[in-house]
Amino acid sequence: MATYEEVKEIANYPEKYLIDVRNKDELAKTGVIPASINIPMSELEAAFKMSENDFKTAFNRDKPTEETVLIFSCQAGGRAQRATDLAQSHGFKNAKAYAGSWTEWAEKENLS
């Protein structure tokens, strides 16, 4: 599991990915964790299957390798865990969920 402290430092580690799997309408209501990229849960498997070029075009980041640290967040942690399981099934060895996700982030950042 990823911690709030690890997620807070993500901007200092560009080789790590923080992927928010919420839908775009959810992001519009709440905001986003800085340095995260949005790949809605419904699009995640297709993103894993994209070519490197298509991934970079879609998300403005290099496609992660199997060794890349992937941290998934959502609203309260459930989808983040499902995304982690999906990533691991696609061979990503360093995938983990941010259990607190947006709910914990907003509380600790005094955004709620």
Determine whether domain 4-108 maps to CATH 3.40.1790.10: no
Q: Which residues contact 44 (CB under 8 A, 6 or more apart)?
A: 19, 21, 83, 86, 87
Q: SS3 for 95?
A: strand
Q: Which one-letter amino acid corresponds to residue 104?
A: E
Residue 6 has pLDDT above 80, yes or no: yes
Catalytic residue among 2, 18, 41, 74: 74
Query: For residues 1 and 49, what is the distance between their CA atoms, to the nearest angstrom?
Result: 24
84 annotated active-site: no
Instruction: Quick: pLDDT tens for 17-74.
Output: 999 999 999 999 999 999 999 999 999 999 999 999 999 999 999 999 999 999 999 9
Residue 91 has pLDDT above 80, yes or no: yes
Q: SS3 for 73?
A: strand
The full set of domain ranges for the chain reads 4-108
